[in-house]
Amino acid sequence: MNILEVKDLDMSYRTIDGEVEAVKKVSFTVKEGESFGIVGESGCGKTSVAMSLLQLQADNGKITNGEIIFNGKNIVGLNEAELREVRWSGISIVFQGAMNSWNPVVKIGEQIREAMREHYPDKTKDENTKKIIELFDIVGLESSIIDRFPHELSGGMKQRAVIALALSCDPKLIIADEPTTALDVVIQDQILKEIRKVQDVLGLSLIYISHDIAVIAEMTDNMAVMYAGSIVEMGKTSKVFSDPKHAYTRMLLESTPSIVGPKKKLRSLDGEPPSLINTDPYCLFSYRCPNPDDNCQNRKIEMKLTKIDTDHYVDKCCVNCG
Protein backbone atom coordinates (compact mmCIF):
# COMPACT_ATOMS: atom_id res chain seq x y z
CA MET A 1 0.00 0.00 0.00
CA ASN A 2 1.37 3.40 -0.91
CA ILE A 3 1.04 5.93 1.83
CA LEU A 4 2.39 8.75 -0.31
CA GLU A 5 2.52 9.15 -4.03
CA VAL A 6 4.10 12.22 -5.57
CA LYS A 7 3.44 12.65 -9.28
CA ASP A 8 5.23 15.17 -11.51
CA LEU A 9 5.60 17.73 -8.77
CA ASP A 10 6.74 21.16 -9.93
CA MET A 11 7.42 23.92 -7.46
CA SER A 12 8.92 27.32 -8.09
CA TYR A 13 9.81 30.46 -6.18
CA ARG A 14 9.04 33.85 -7.61
CA THR A 15 12.03 36.17 -7.30
CA ILE A 16 13.11 39.48 -8.78
CA ASP A 17 15.36 37.68 -11.26
CA GLY A 18 12.63 35.32 -12.44
CA GLU A 19 11.05 32.00 -11.53
CA VAL A 20 13.38 29.69 -9.64
CA GLU A 21 12.31 26.18 -10.50
CA ALA A 22 13.30 24.49 -7.27
CA VAL A 23 11.46 21.22 -7.83
CA LYS A 24 11.01 19.83 -11.34
CA LYS A 25 8.90 16.83 -12.31
CA VAL A 26 9.62 14.95 -9.12
CA SER A 27 7.78 11.65 -8.75
CA PHE A 28 8.23 9.03 -6.09
CA THR A 29 6.21 6.77 -3.87
CA VAL A 30 6.56 5.82 -0.23
CA LYS A 31 5.06 2.56 0.93
CA GLU A 32 3.54 2.03 4.32
CA GLY A 33 6.20 1.30 6.94
CA GLU A 34 8.99 2.04 4.51
CA SER A 35 11.71 4.60 4.83
CA PHE A 36 12.61 6.64 1.82
CA GLY A 37 15.74 8.72 1.53
CA ILE A 38 16.38 11.85 -0.48
CA VAL A 39 19.99 12.85 -0.89
CA GLY A 40 21.66 15.69 -2.75
CA GLU A 41 23.88 18.73 -2.32
CA SER A 42 22.73 22.01 -0.77
CA GLY A 43 20.20 23.86 -2.87
CA CYS A 44 19.17 20.84 -4.92
CA GLY A 45 15.56 21.07 -3.76
CA LYS A 46 15.42 18.46 -1.01
CA THR A 47 13.88 20.73 1.56
CA SER A 48 11.63 22.30 -1.07
CA VAL A 49 10.20 18.84 -1.74
CA ALA A 50 9.63 18.34 2.00
CA MET A 51 7.96 21.72 2.36
CA SER A 52 5.75 21.08 -0.68
CA LEU A 53 4.46 17.89 0.88
CA LEU A 54 2.87 19.94 3.67
CA GLN A 55 2.58 23.07 1.54
CA LEU A 56 4.65 25.04 4.00
CA GLN A 57 6.79 26.69 1.36
CA ALA A 58 7.62 30.37 1.72
CA ASP A 59 5.05 32.88 0.51
CA ASN A 60 6.74 33.29 -2.88
CA GLY A 61 6.83 29.54 -3.48
CA LYS A 62 4.09 27.89 -5.46
CA ILE A 63 3.27 24.36 -6.55
CA THR A 64 2.68 24.85 -10.26
CA ASN A 65 1.95 21.30 -11.31
CA GLY A 66 1.61 17.77 -10.07
CA GLU A 67 -0.20 15.75 -7.47
CA ILE A 68 0.63 14.71 -3.93
CA ILE A 69 -1.56 11.76 -3.06
CA PHE A 70 -1.44 11.13 0.66
CA ASN A 71 -3.47 8.23 2.01
CA GLY A 72 -5.46 8.07 -1.24
CA LYS A 73 -6.28 11.78 -1.38
CA ASN A 74 -4.70 14.53 -3.44
CA ILE A 75 -3.59 17.25 -1.05
CA VAL A 76 -2.44 19.80 -3.62
CA GLY A 77 -4.86 22.70 -3.77
CA LEU A 78 -6.61 21.97 -0.48
CA ASN A 79 -7.68 25.04 1.46
CA GLU A 80 -6.03 26.15 4.66
CA ALA A 81 -8.46 24.38 7.00
CA GLU A 82 -8.18 21.05 5.18
CA LEU A 83 -4.41 21.34 5.09
CA ARG A 84 -4.29 21.99 8.82
CA GLU A 85 -5.94 18.62 9.37
CA VAL A 86 -3.32 16.85 7.27
CA ARG A 87 -0.47 18.67 8.95
CA TRP A 88 0.94 16.88 11.95
CA SER A 89 -1.83 14.28 12.31
CA GLY A 90 -1.14 12.99 8.78
CA ILE A 91 2.37 14.14 7.96
CA SER A 92 4.73 15.60 10.53
CA ILE A 93 8.21 16.99 10.17
CA VAL A 94 11.38 16.81 12.21
CA PHE A 95 13.04 20.02 11.11
CA GLN A 96 16.67 20.69 10.50
CA GLY A 97 18.22 22.67 13.30
CA ALA A 98 16.15 21.68 16.31
CA MET A 99 17.71 24.60 18.19
CA ASN A 100 15.28 26.99 16.59
CA SER A 101 12.25 24.75 16.24
CA TRP A 102 11.07 25.65 19.71
CA ASN A 103 9.39 28.86 20.71
CA PRO A 104 11.77 30.24 23.35
CA VAL A 105 9.08 31.59 25.67
CA VAL A 106 6.73 28.61 25.89
CA LYS A 107 7.38 25.44 27.89
CA ILE A 108 8.18 22.28 25.92
CA GLY A 109 5.17 20.39 27.22
CA GLU A 110 2.82 23.22 26.35
CA GLN A 111 4.18 23.39 22.81
CA ILE A 112 3.51 19.69 22.30
CA ARG A 113 0.14 19.88 24.00
CA GLU A 114 -0.79 22.76 21.73
CA ALA A 115 -0.50 20.54 18.66
CA MET A 116 -2.49 17.78 20.36
CA ARG A 117 -5.19 20.24 21.36
CA GLU A 118 -5.56 21.23 17.72
CA HIS A 119 -5.98 17.68 16.45
CA TYR A 120 -7.67 16.00 19.42
CA PRO A 121 -9.86 18.73 20.86
CA ASP A 122 -11.74 16.33 23.16
CA LYS A 123 -8.76 15.08 25.12
CA THR A 124 -8.18 16.45 28.60
CA LYS A 125 -4.97 18.02 29.76
CA ASP A 126 -4.08 14.98 31.87
CA GLU A 127 -4.54 12.58 28.97
CA ASN A 128 -2.32 14.73 26.79
CA THR A 129 0.33 14.97 29.48
CA LYS A 130 0.27 11.21 29.96
CA LYS A 131 0.81 10.68 26.27
CA ILE A 132 3.69 13.15 26.17
CA ILE A 133 5.38 11.27 29.02
CA GLU A 134 4.98 8.03 27.06
CA LEU A 135 6.52 9.65 23.99
CA PHE A 136 9.37 11.08 26.07
CA ASP A 137 9.97 7.58 27.34
CA ILE A 138 10.26 6.28 23.78
CA VAL A 139 12.78 8.93 22.74
CA GLY A 140 14.70 8.68 26.00
CA LEU A 141 13.78 11.87 27.81
CA GLU A 142 12.79 12.40 31.43
CA SER A 143 9.20 13.38 32.10
CA SER A 144 10.32 16.52 33.99
CA ILE A 145 11.29 18.09 30.67
CA ILE A 146 7.61 18.86 30.09
CA ASP A 147 7.95 21.85 32.40
CA ARG A 148 11.24 23.09 31.02
CA PHE A 149 11.84 25.96 28.66
CA PRO A 150 13.72 25.23 25.42
CA HIS A 151 16.87 27.08 26.49
CA GLU A 152 17.23 24.77 29.49
CA LEU A 153 17.77 21.77 27.20
CA SER A 154 20.90 20.66 25.38
CA GLY A 155 20.91 20.34 21.60
CA GLY A 156 20.47 16.56 21.70
CA MET A 157 17.62 16.80 24.20
CA LYS A 158 15.91 19.40 22.05
CA GLN A 159 16.18 17.17 19.01
CA ARG A 160 14.76 14.22 20.95
CA ALA A 161 11.93 16.43 22.12
CA VAL A 162 11.35 17.46 18.50
CA ILE A 163 10.95 13.79 17.61
CA ALA A 164 8.46 13.40 20.45
CA LEU A 165 6.67 16.47 19.15
CA ALA A 166 6.55 14.96 15.65
CA LEU A 167 4.98 11.80 17.06
CA SER A 168 2.46 13.55 19.28
CA CYS A 169 -0.50 13.46 16.88
CA ASP A 170 0.00 9.90 15.59
CA PRO A 171 1.15 10.82 12.08
CA LYS A 172 1.30 8.18 9.37
CA LEU A 173 4.35 9.70 7.74
CA ILE A 174 7.27 11.54 9.25
CA ILE A 175 9.59 13.72 7.23
CA ALA A 176 13.02 13.99 8.80
CA ASP A 177 14.70 16.97 7.19
CA GLU A 178 18.39 16.72 8.09
CA PRO A 179 17.51 16.12 11.74
CA THR A 180 21.10 15.71 12.83
CA THR A 181 22.73 18.66 11.07
CA ALA A 182 23.55 20.78 14.10
CA LEU A 183 24.60 17.93 16.40
CA ASP A 184 27.94 16.35 17.19
CA VAL A 185 28.71 12.87 15.86
CA VAL A 186 27.93 10.92 19.02
CA ILE A 187 24.57 12.57 19.48
CA GLN A 188 23.90 12.21 15.76
CA ASP A 189 24.26 8.48 16.06
CA GLN A 190 21.96 8.35 19.09
CA ILE A 191 19.30 10.39 17.32
CA LEU A 192 19.48 8.20 14.22
CA LYS A 193 19.02 5.12 16.38
CA GLU A 194 16.12 6.81 18.10
CA ILE A 195 14.42 7.54 14.79
CA ARG A 196 14.93 3.93 13.63
CA LYS A 197 13.54 2.61 16.88
CA VAL A 198 10.51 4.84 16.75
CA GLN A 199 9.86 3.83 13.17
CA ASP A 200 10.07 0.13 14.06
CA VAL A 201 7.98 0.40 17.19
CA LEU A 202 5.22 2.50 15.70
CA GLY A 203 5.37 1.16 12.15
CA LEU A 204 5.63 4.61 10.58
CA SER A 205 6.64 5.61 7.11
CA LEU A 206 9.62 7.88 6.97
CA ILE A 207 11.10 10.26 4.45
CA TYR A 208 14.69 10.94 5.39
CA ILE A 209 16.34 13.94 3.82
CA SER A 210 20.07 14.43 4.09
CA HIS A 211 23.16 15.53 2.24
CA ASP A 212 25.06 12.76 3.98
CA ILE A 213 24.92 9.70 1.75
CA ALA A 214 26.29 7.46 4.51
CA VAL A 215 23.35 8.26 6.76
CA ILE A 216 20.94 7.55 3.91
CA ALA A 217 22.57 4.15 3.42
CA GLU A 218 22.08 3.37 7.07
CA MET A 219 18.55 4.65 7.43
CA THR A 220 16.55 3.92 4.32
CA ASP A 221 15.04 1.13 2.22
CA ASN A 222 14.60 3.14 -0.96
CA MET A 223 16.27 6.33 -1.99
CA ALA A 224 16.34 9.08 -4.55
CA VAL A 225 19.28 11.24 -5.57
CA MET A 226 18.34 14.80 -6.38
CA TYR A 227 20.27 17.20 -8.54
CA ALA A 228 19.17 20.71 -9.50
CA GLY A 229 15.55 20.16 -8.59
CA SER A 230 15.11 16.79 -10.30
CA ILE A 231 15.50 13.21 -9.23
CA VAL A 232 18.35 11.79 -11.27
CA GLU A 233 18.47 8.31 -9.80
CA MET A 234 16.03 6.36 -7.69
CA GLY A 235 15.77 2.82 -6.45
CA LYS A 236 16.44 0.35 -3.68
CA THR A 237 19.14 1.80 -1.47
CA SER A 238 21.24 -1.33 -1.70
CA LYS A 239 21.05 -1.26 -5.49
CA VAL A 240 21.89 2.40 -5.84
CA PHE A 241 24.89 1.91 -3.61
CA SER A 242 26.18 -1.28 -5.17
CA ASP A 243 25.57 -0.26 -8.76
CA PRO A 244 25.21 3.50 -9.15
CA LYS A 245 24.24 4.38 -12.71
CA HIS A 246 24.18 8.15 -12.73
CA ALA A 247 27.48 9.99 -12.86
CA TYR A 248 26.36 12.32 -10.09
CA THR A 249 25.52 9.45 -7.74
CA ARG A 250 28.92 7.95 -8.41
CA MET A 251 30.62 11.24 -7.66
CA LEU A 252 28.67 11.54 -4.41
CA LEU A 253 29.73 8.06 -3.38
CA GLU A 254 33.34 8.66 -4.28
CA SER A 255 33.44 11.85 -2.31
CA THR A 256 32.64 9.97 0.91
CA PRO A 257 35.44 8.05 2.64
CA SER A 258 34.83 4.38 3.36
CA ILE A 259 36.33 2.61 6.36
CA VAL A 260 36.41 -0.77 4.62
CA GLY A 261 38.11 -1.79 1.38
CA PRO A 262 41.28 -0.44 -0.22
CA LYS A 263 42.37 3.14 0.28
CA LYS A 264 41.15 5.42 -2.47
CA LYS A 265 41.68 9.05 -3.17
CA LEU A 266 38.50 11.06 -2.48
CA ARG A 267 37.13 12.76 -5.54
CA SER A 268 35.46 16.09 -5.60
CA LEU A 269 33.08 17.42 -8.19
CA ASP A 270 34.23 20.42 -10.20
CA GLY A 271 31.94 23.30 -11.03
CA GLU A 272 28.97 24.70 -9.24
CA PRO A 273 25.31 23.71 -9.16
CA PRO A 274 23.50 25.45 -12.04
CA SER A 275 21.16 28.36 -11.59
CA LEU A 276 17.57 27.20 -11.53
CA ILE A 277 16.11 30.32 -13.08
CA ASN A 278 14.29 29.71 -16.37
CA THR A 279 15.98 26.42 -17.16
CA ASP A 280 15.43 24.27 -20.21
CA PRO A 281 14.19 20.68 -19.94
CA TYR A 282 17.57 19.16 -20.84
CA CYS A 283 20.01 17.49 -18.52
CA LEU A 284 21.47 20.08 -16.17
CA PHE A 285 24.32 17.86 -15.13
CA SER A 286 25.96 17.80 -18.56
CA TYR A 287 28.04 20.90 -17.70
CA ARG A 288 29.71 18.96 -14.92
CA CYS A 289 29.58 15.45 -16.36
CA PRO A 290 33.06 13.87 -16.11
CA ASN A 291 32.81 11.80 -19.34
CA PRO A 292 29.98 13.13 -21.44
CA ASP A 293 29.08 11.50 -24.75
CA ASP A 294 27.90 13.48 -27.78
CA ASN A 295 24.25 13.51 -26.81
CA CYS A 296 25.13 14.71 -23.38
CA GLN A 297 27.47 17.43 -24.54
CA ASN A 298 25.02 18.80 -27.09
CA ARG A 299 22.23 18.59 -24.49
CA LYS A 300 19.72 16.84 -26.70
CA ILE A 301 18.06 14.43 -24.29
CA GLU A 302 15.25 15.69 -22.06
CA MET A 303 15.46 14.77 -18.43
CA LYS A 304 13.31 11.77 -17.62
CA LEU A 305 13.71 8.84 -15.29
CA THR A 306 14.00 5.54 -17.13
CA LYS A 307 13.61 2.10 -15.65
CA ILE A 308 16.78 0.10 -16.05
CA ASP A 309 16.05 -2.67 -13.57
CA THR A 310 13.32 -3.64 -11.14
CA ASP A 311 13.26 -0.88 -8.56
CA HIS A 312 16.04 1.07 -10.18
CA TYR A 313 15.47 4.21 -12.22
CA VAL A 314 18.01 6.59 -13.65
CA ASP A 315 17.94 9.73 -15.75
CA LYS A 316 17.78 8.98 -19.48
CA CYS A 317 20.75 11.13 -20.36
CA CYS A 318 23.07 9.30 -18.07
CA VAL A 319 22.10 5.74 -18.93
CA ASN A 320 24.77 5.60 -21.60
CA CYS A 321 27.37 8.17 -20.64
CA GLY A 322 29.20 8.81 -17.42
Q: Of the candidates 90, 91, 71, which has an alpha carbon nearest to the alpha carbon of residue 1?
A: 71
Max distance between CA atoms of the chain, in angstroms, equals 68
If one asks whether residue 48 binds other proteins (CB under 8 A), the answer comes out as: no
CA-to-CA distance for 183 and 214, rounded, in angstroms?
A: 16
128 binds other proteins (CB under 8 A): yes
The kind and range of the H/E element at 309 are: strand 305-309
Binding segment (CB under 8 A) for other proteins, from list 87-95, 218-226, 253-261, 275-283? 87-95
From the list 17-25, 62-70, 81-89, 134-142, the region that binds other proteins by CB under 8 A is: 81-89
Closest to other proteins by CB, 165 or 252: 165
Give min distance, CB of 205 to other proteins, in A. 17
Residue 152 in the binding site for other proteins (CB under 8 A):
yes
- Residue 285 engages other proteins in binding (rule: CB under 8 A): no
**62 touching other proteins, by CB under 8 A:** no
Selected from 28, 102, 136, 227, the binder of other proteins by CB under 8 A is 102
DSSP string, 201-233: HHT-EEEEEES-HHHHHHH-SEEEEEETTEEEE
Burial (Cβ within 10 Å: 0-12, 13-18, ≥19) of residue 202: middle
CB proximity list for 187: less than 8 A, separation 6 or greater: 155, 156, 159, 180
> Considering CB under 8 A, how many residues would be counted as binding other proteins?
39
Binding site for other proteins (CB under 8 A): 54, 56, 59, 80, 83-89, 92-93, 95, 97, 100-106, 113-115, 117-119, 121-125, 128, 149, 151-152, 165, 169
